[in-house]
Structure 1
């Protein structure tokens, strides 16, 4: 009996040692994979963007990179004591760029979706928008149903295209043909303007900014859809828990000190909803 008890105690002790060692090894591995220390050492945060996504990140007429997300990222990096290094990426390959370490974050109107959660971790939501149709006033598109015999454009890899595929009742059910896919929105908008497309599925903030700042757009209009809101957040690697925490803290500070609201008025003509 005593021997059995000693054996049980010995086995329990071995199990405990293995368990503690396993936890220690896991934590060390997780810590090594967390790149915050590396970001601090090089004093640079590599941010992946699509530099045609108005008004989140785009080029002005002088070729300078501007936009709501660009300025918000710069302000957040200042809070973190690092420099932002913006890298233009193929938007359809954004999660791959993140996973391979070419960038540290995706910060460019990056909408939270279940599919994206499989490949990235998100900060807290900092902005919301909606998917709309941008069309010509004479194209005969006043509601999604009017696209039944017309051609639609979408951006590959965009949240709008994801919603188009996963929520067919909002728009896809009305189309007879597959939408034309573009690598950037500006190309799709140009095809709307010249009549090659009836409409493009696009972010409302982009459409509003385009109509308010571009010339020769008096013949374009916005048509609402029933898609749920886009919730924007910064995407990082799942193991980068420290970076995610730091970004959340910086964004919260920018909300409290009024920076976020100032940028919202500048690029959206309004303040963002309180988070």
Structure 2
């Protein structure tokens, strides 16, 4: 009888401890608080990036972290009196890294999508880009329809390849064969230059960076497409309403004082790519 009572008491203790743990987890996930004060105290903003994403965030020949988004983030943090602490993360785990507080923001060519809005809060979009065709000047390709009978290159797993598959009316319908898949854009661009491909479907930001910095021997040109554009924003935790408001203000200031235009010229070779028909130009607001 005593042994049975001890077993019952032991089970009750285990259940009580389990209830305490589950209650703590539930409270933490359902009573999250705005972290702005702690960010101010630490004077640091932990930013999650993929440091291989040219031209938004990558390593230069000296292994220094550079890129359009990297410099935008540094300039915005300076406005807010914070030091950016760039954390290289597994990009497939970015939302988990954010919501477990390993990072405070996702800022690295982060495209706004309905699915991502379920997990994070986005700032106002600050940059718009899209998919274009990169082709030789003498290819005769001036619009997607001109790709009839010409081989197309794509990067496996890229957003461009996804759009190519889900929006067949924009390009796929004009091809007579399946696109050639590459693991990197530079290999596809090389095949465009030597005439193995009619064009490569590529992110416009990457295409403009390549043309501005690689100076290819064979003249290349960008041909617009009708694929829907991507809007980029900074992702923060949903409870971090103050941080979101502060970042919106800082980004607006970077647009207003010319910093964004300077960085666009530096990394894309132009302050306003043609694909960006409605540039992200927020109206000036007072400091929050």
Normalised by the size of structure 2, how large is the TM-score?
0.69
Question: Residue 49 of structure 1 contacts residue 107 of structure 1 at CA under 8 Å; is this kept in 2?
Answer: yes
Q: Does 1:152 align with 2:153?
A: yes
What is aligned with 1:127?
A: 127
Count of residue pairs the alignment pairs up: 248
C-alpha contact 2:151 2:180 (8 A) present in aligned 1 = no
Deviation (angstroms), 1:258: 2.8
Q: 2: distance between equivalents of 1:139 and 1:225?
A: 16
What CA deviation, in whole Å up to 9, does each residue of 1:153-172 have, x standing for no partner? 136364x3443344332234
CA 1:258–1:137 in structure 2 vs 1: closer, same or farther (change >3 Å)?
closer
Q: 1:140 to 1:265 in 2, by over 3 A?
A: closer
Cα pair distance change 1:34/1:195, threshold 3 Å: farther
**Distance change (3 Å), C-alpha of 1:148 and 1:108:** farther
- Contact 1:53–1:206 (CA under 8 A) maintained in structure 2: no
Question: Offset at 1:105?
Answer: 1.9
Say if 2:70 is the partner of 1:57.
Answer: no
Q: 1:35 to 1:150 in 2, by over 3 A?
A: farther
Determine if contact 2:49/2:88 at 8 Å carries over to the other structure.
yes
Aligned to 2:84: 84
Specify the alignment match of 2:181 in structure 1: 180
Give the superposition deviation at 1:92. 4.4
| 8 Å CA contact 1:98, 1:105 repeated in 2 | yes
User: TM-score, normalization: structure 1?
Assistant: 0.72
Deviation per CA, 1:184-221, whole angstroms, max 9, x where unpaired? Answer: 64565456557776543322222112112114352433
Secondary structure, aligned partner of 2:178: coil
Distance in 2 (CA, whole Å) between partners of 1:197 and 1:50 is 29
CA distance in 2 between counterparts of 1:179 and 1:147 reads 15
Whole-Å separation in 2 of the counterparts to 1:27 and 1:96: 18
Q: Secondary structure at the match of 2:246?
A: helix
CA offset at residue 108 of structure 1? 1.9
What's the secondary structure of 1:274's corresponding residue?
coil
Residue equivalent to 1:98:
98
Describe the superposition over 1:87-107 as per-residue Cα deviations: whole angstroms up to 9, x where unpaired: 334444433443444332221
Q: Distance in 1 between matches of 2:231 and 2:70?
A: 17
Change (3 A) 1:42 1:202: farther
Q: Structure 1: give runs of 5+ residues left out of the alignment.
A: 1-25
- 1:152-231 matches, within 5 Å, as 152-154=153-155, 156=157, 158=159, 160-174=160-174, 176-177=177-178, 180=181, 182=183, 185-186=185-186, 189=189, 199-231=199-231
Task: Check 1:141–1:258 CA distance in 2 against 1; reply closer, same or farther (3 A cut).
Answer: closer
Task: Say which is worse superposed, 149-158 or 189-198, in terms of deviation.
Answer: 189-198
**Deviations 1:113-159 (CA, angstroms, capped at 9, x unpaired):** 2233233321112122221122455777554342666343136364x
Counting only pairs closer than 5 Å after superposition, residues 3-82 of structure 1 correspond to structure 2 as 32-82=32-82
Q: Deviations over 1:201-242 (max 9, x none)?
A: 322222112112114352433222111232221122333322
- Match for residue 252 of structure 1? 252
Match of 1:12 in 2: none
Query: Greater shift after overlay, 247-256 or 140-149?
Result: 140-149
1:274 equivalenced with 2:275 (yes/no): no
